[in-house]
Amino acid sequence: MYIYPDNLKAKATLWLWEIRDVGIIGIGAIISLFAMAQLGFIIPVVVTAAYAFLSIRFDGGSILDFIRHACAFFITKKQLYEWRMDSK
């Protein structure tokens, strides 16, 4: 028996992540394990674990999405403010 999701336009998810995030975490884990086993380099493991934590989705949003939107608002997007006084 197949049960349809509530929102048919929603992105596919697996556990708490989108499918794209699961792929990135999997590839990152493989590279991290290789770096740790062969080079003794632990930073890729930490980066992969941080990405996995930040990309957990609840109610359609994640911490990583919030950080991206905050950086776009405060840093990367051009903001133009015009101040003028209307004389009557």
Please report, as a single letter, which amino acid is at residue 85.
M
Is residue 49 a part of any domain in this protein?
yes
The domain of 18 spans 13-76
- Residue range 5-44, pLDDT digits in tens: 667 777 777 788 888 999 999 999 999 999 999 999 899 9
Domains in the chain: how many in total? 1
Is residue 3 a part of any domain in this protein?
no
- Residue range 39-75, pLDDT digits in tens: 998 999 999 999 999 999 888 789 999 999 999 888 8
Is residue 4 a part of any domain in this protein?
no
Q: Residue 78 corresponds to which tokens in the numbers above?
A: 């051009």
Give the relative orientation of helices 63-71 and 43-54 as an angle to the nearest 10 degrees: 90
Please state the pTM of the whole predicted model. 0.72
What contacts 24, CB < 8 A, 6 or more positions away? 51, 55
Is residue 46 a part of any domain in this protein?
yes
